Amino acid sequence: MNFEVVVTCAVTGAGDTVDRHPGVPVTPRQIADAAIEAAKAGAAVAHIHVRDPETGKGSRDPELFKQAVDMVRSSGTDVVINLTAGMGGDWVPSQADPAQPGPGTDMIGPIERLAHVQDLLPEICSLDCGTLNFGDGDNIYISTPPTLRKMAELTRDWGVKPELEVFDLGHIRFARQMISEGLIAAPPMFQICLGIPWGADQSVDTMKVMKDHLPPEASWASFGISRMQMPMAAAAVAMGGNVRVGLEDNLYLDRGVLATNGQLVDRVIEIIERMGGRALTPQEARNKLKLRGADG
């Protein structure tokens, strides 16, 4: 059981959710306001993607990240900023010639994937630790070992803690290899991502298996998607982990009731407190996770 829980709120994501929920943040101002809302509700960490303000689709434009992060930092609201570094790995084979990229492909190298991280130096950025068939279409998310090693090396040198996002056991295996090679600063930090098609299923059994394969010194969190967001949060706390909620992973507070990020944070903190725990403040989270801004 984890009695001192780091709550992360993933406020928008990059998925096709804008047409399903009018409250999904799109503009840098909306994304910043969502991060501030989550922090005021009790989240210690805000996980931030950005979107094209015109189309609502996920973006990797460094200027959009800068606008959103500057607004959060200038607001006077204390929150640990966790920037995605997962954009730029999408491969969609052409229907005419599968050896060539088709519409929707967006493949860039490791340095470009981290351009906004180098510019803004958040305390945390995500590092997706492997390749995955993403959904039922032809979209493949690609992160090769050389790409991941380079990204790990750069974040280590910049003092940014990589959140090692693992969608399957093989991802944990490779993350442990990078740790053994000295590419990840101690202690490592993992996010067990459950329910994303076609990664690991969201169940208590799956979470326990993946948790048991983590290095003993690691801190970890987990999340489920859609209606399993809160059950998986409760399971993570019971197993000693931290939690993630937010509109990136789930749009609903209750059946048929659209949520806000703040409401999802409120709900998971209520669950944590009913289990006998408490949500840590941003500074307490920095100390627990050994982030750059930790005391001492």
pLDDT at residue 294 tops 90? no
Name residue 108's amino acid.
Answer: I
Q: What is the mean pLDDT of residues 259-284?
A: 98
- Burial track 215-235 (b if 16+ CB lie within 10 A, e otherwise): beebbbbbbbbeebbbebbbb
Q: What is the mean pLDDT of residues 263-279?
A: 98
Return the pLDDT at 95: 93
- For strand 106-107 and strand 89-91, is the pairing parallel, antiparallel, or unpaired? antiparallel
What rounded mean pLDDT belongs to the chain? 97
Q: Are 267 and 286 in contact (CB under 8 A)?
A: no
Spatial CA neighbour of 264 closest among 4, 1, 12: 12
Q: Are 239 and 203 in contact (CB under 8 A)?
A: no
Domains and CATH numbers, the chain: 4-289 (3.20.20.70)
Q: Tell me the whole-structure pTM to 2 decimals.
A: 0.96
Spatial CA neighbour of 143 closest among 165, 125, 161, 121: 165
Q: What is the pLDDT of residues 146-193, one digit of tens each?
A: 999 999 999 999 999 999 999 999 999 999 999 999 999 999 999 999
Spatial CA neighbour of 267 closest among 47, 80, 77, 42: 42
Q: What is the pLDDT of residues 208-245, one digit of tens each?
A: 999 999 999 999 999 999 999 999 999 999 999 999 99
